[in-house]
Amino acid sequence: MESLELRTNVIAAYVCGGHGDQVPQVAAAMQISPGDSSDVGFNMACALLQLRAFGDGEQQLRLALRAGAASGTEKPNMPCQVLSVWERYSMKM
């Protein structure tokens, strides 16, 4: 299997392309899950939000933030990205 970074970017591409509904199948095929990294968790949360699964998406965003903080891999702008994503999708509720 390819690198975690490549698989993470594939998930992000599906979300950015508006194909969040396909993310669970793609993630399973690539053997990747939200617990693999905060970036994977963030991208999968965005897919949930895209599907209007707001409660699950919010929970996943919070888990991604905590995972990044706990592992020391959180990017400096990740909290801002999370807030931006949450605001964008919550306005559609």
pLDDT at 83: 62
In the chain, what's the furthest Cα-to-Cα distance? Answer: 38
What is the pTM (predicted TM-score) of this model? 0.77
| Residue 42: HSE in the Cβ half-sphere, 13 Å Cα cutoff | 25
d(CA 48, CA 58): 9
pLDDT at 20: 93
pLDDT at 63: 86
Judge whether 38 and 67 are in contact, CB under 8 Å.
Answer: yes
- pLDDT tens for each residue of the chain, 93 residues long: 579 999 999 999 999 899 999 999 999 999 999 988 888 998 999 999 889 898 898 898 888 888 777 766 555 455 556 666 666 666 665
d(CA 93, CA 45): 16
Judge whether 33 and 16 are in contact, CB under 8 Å.
Answer: no
pLDDT at 79: 54
